[in-house]
Amino acid sequence: MKENFFNKLLNKARENAALACLHLADGSTRTYAQVFDRAGQYARTLQALGVGPGDRVAVQVEKSAENLTLYLGTLQAGAVYVPLNTAYTREEVAYFLGDAEPALFVGGAADAELASRFPGIRCLTLDAQGQGTLVDEVNRHQPLATVVPRETTDLAAIVYTSGTTGRSKGAMLCHGNLAMNAEALIEAWGWQASDVLLHALPIFHVHGLFIAMHCALGTGTPMIFLPKFVGAETLRWLNRATVLMGVPTFYTRLLGESGLTAESVRHMRVFISGSAPLTPQTFAEFETRTGHRILERYGMSETIINTTNPLVGERVPGTVGYALPGVEVRIADAAGVEVPRGEVGMIEVRGGNVFSGYWRMPDKTREEIRADGFFITGDLGTMAADGRVAIVGRGKDLVISGGYNVYPKEIEEALDDIPGVRESAVIGVPHADFGEAVVAIVVPDGEPLDLEQLRPHLADRLAKFKQPKALFNVGELPRNTMGKVQKNILRDTYRNTFRAE
């Protein structure tokens, strides 16, 4: 089917041409007409630079309105957007350029050296103020008046997974994936003409780039577009918003602001959380303080969004709700056979949201997408009788101690319930006797805890084989930019805990 996803957004932009699309941190506003005209200038510039349909445009720049219009212009020109985390080092970016082979790389001013390593790739800069050589080019061009036709199965973006084990993989997302997911989310979250989204997420990741932005652009409603999340400032902007989408860290930081009260967020329609688990403690504290029950949903680079708690109906903490319309979820064993309801298994997903494979990795694609079309997510979970899904943890974080499966989340929840514990992370480390031993890393609320005092609390709640063999106090857990705890770093740090035994 012929459908460049950009057309859907453009139609909404035309209907709402004179209305605000972006409220920027400097107090200025851009209308839909301005944003989509600018996107058109980018599209024409890409064409002038020889970037054709299917060509990749790799982008590693700070979040800005220019960055957003570069993304839209790439879609309009029928090219493939490849966002890169701003935290990536030059060597990491070199890997992505070698892998994606973009026609154009838009990066920082310091990337001239990188450019010299890839003579076949056009390298241009773009900075947050919109000053730079690409912007100079763009300013010279009129908007492209047409939209380059694409099939729903044509590539729209390649999103590299964070790759904590092995090389990062490029998830290939098509125009149809973006369109289907945007439509399902707008419906599921009851998007309204009066909505104003507070957008403080990065736009190099599916959460900020697709999930958040497509809900607003797909309904022609405004976004408060902030370069990043800063607790006090974000709270001030919240006065003008109706929807916040964030990672759990946003909510723990907001709870640290004394200005967060029921009164201050009375006008909000919904708070949405995802990309990492929201603890039941944060959910409960947020409800006590504001009266709002945070709506948690579950997604990933390869599938955008899979499941969501309901807008109307019970939002159950510690669960990620039900499969979106058009998405099938099953909890399966290693052979892909569904396990009985309530039992732990691998979460598998099939539907219009599922990516078409990993860029130039046919073997990986075959390993992770089954012949029947189900994608093996790598997340372990359960499904209740009514279809409600709960995530137990990443499969690779499962600890096997003395032959028993230990699901870290269960131990983390028990630890987090103990007074004086702010949060915790549980990992498995090598152990001569048990194969792996359970180790808990604990962040105290204030002073370091006497860890031995925690043991009696756990003894009441957990079978002996699940109880940590060692506990450590730390000031904070290592997290990536999306708020995910980096357990690979913890495993490295505590790898030798039992080496002498």
Binding site for ligand AMP (CB under 6 A): 161-162, 206, 274-277, 296, 298-301, 320, 377-379, 391, 394, 482
CB 456 to ligand AMP: min, Å: 29
CB 405 to ligand AMP: min, Å: 17
CB 354 to ligand AMP: min, Å: 13
Question: Is the Cβ of residue 39 or residue 182 nearer to ligand AMP in the bound state?
Answer: 182
**Partners of 22 in the beta sheet?**
30, 223
Question: Is the Cβ of residue 55 or residue 368 nearer to ligand AMP in the bound state?
Answer: 368
CB 231 to ligand AMP: min, Å: 21
Determine the Cα–Cα distance for residues 219 and 32; give it in Å rounded to an integer.
11
Question: Is the Cβ of residue 34 or residue 301 nearer to ligand AMP in the bound state?
Answer: 301
CB 365 to ligand AMP: min, Å: 16
In 135-220, DSSP assigns E strands to 155-160, 170-174, 197-199
Question: Is the Cβ of residue 218 or residue 277 nearer to ligand AMP in the bound state?
Answer: 277
| Cβ neighbourhood burial of 166 (10 Å; 0-12, 13-18, 19+) | exposed
Question: Is the Cβ of residue 206 or residue 235 nearer to ligand AMP in the bound state?
Answer: 206
Determine the Cα–Cα distance for residues 12 and 34; give it in Å rounded to an integer.
13
Mutual angle of helices 65-76 and 5-15, in 10-degree steps:
120
Question: Is the Cβ of residue 298 or residue 434 nearer to ligand AMP in the bound state?
Answer: 298
Determine the Cα–Cα distance for residues 307 and 323; give it in Å rounded to an integer.
4
Are 21 and 35 spatial neighbours (Cβ–Cβ below 8 Å)? Answer: yes
What's the distance, CA 375 to chain centroid?
18
Question: Is the Cβ of residue 221 or residue 275 nearer to ligand AMP in the bound state?
Answer: 275
CB 398 to ligand AMP: min, Å: 12
Determine the Cα–Cα distance for residues 65 and 423; give it in Å rounded to an integer.
36
CB 277 to ligand AMP: min, Å: 4
| Cβ neighbourhood burial of 108 (10 Å; 0-12, 13-18, 19+) | middle
Residue with tokens 């688990």: 277
